[in-house]
């Protein structure tokens, strides 16, 4: 059986994981913006609204992860 990780290490692992997810979400959002703009400029106007809604959902997910990291970082630091 492995020894339990100290609370500080668990907190840093959670923060690192959340920041990695934020990075992935932002890359997907930038790809979505590029693909939607290309489609819109090519005359496919029907894809703009669903892409804007999905982009808003990705933004809210990134914001929720950021708030999670902010709350974790602002908490008391165990020694």
| Total domains, the chain | 1
Range of the domain at 31: 20-74
| pLDDT above 90 for 28 | yes
> Is 7 a domain residue?
no
Average pLDDT score, the chain: 89
In degrees, rounded to 5, the angle at the alpha carbon of residue 14 between the alpha carbons of residues 52 and 1 is 140
Asked if the structure places residue 13 within a domain, the reply is: no
Sequence-distant (≥ 6) Cβ neighbours of residue 62 within 8 angstroms: 22, 25, 26, 29
Could you read off the pLDDT of 60-76 as tens digits, one per residue?
A: 999 999 999 999 888 77
CA 62: distance to chain centroid?
A: 3
C-alpha span between 73 and 15 (Å, rounded):
8
Q: What beta strand segments (E) does 1-79 contain?
A: none
């Amino acid at each position: 059986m492995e020894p339990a990780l100290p609370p500080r290490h668990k907190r840093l692992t959670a923060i690192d994981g959340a920041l990695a997810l934020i990075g992935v979400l932002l890359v997907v959002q930038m790809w979505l913006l590029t693909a939607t703009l290309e489609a819109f400029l090519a005359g496919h106007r029907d894809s703009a609204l669903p892409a804007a809604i999905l982009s808003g959902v990705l933004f809210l997910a990134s914001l929720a992860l950021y708030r999670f990291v902010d709350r974790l970082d602002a908490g008391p630091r165990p020694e």
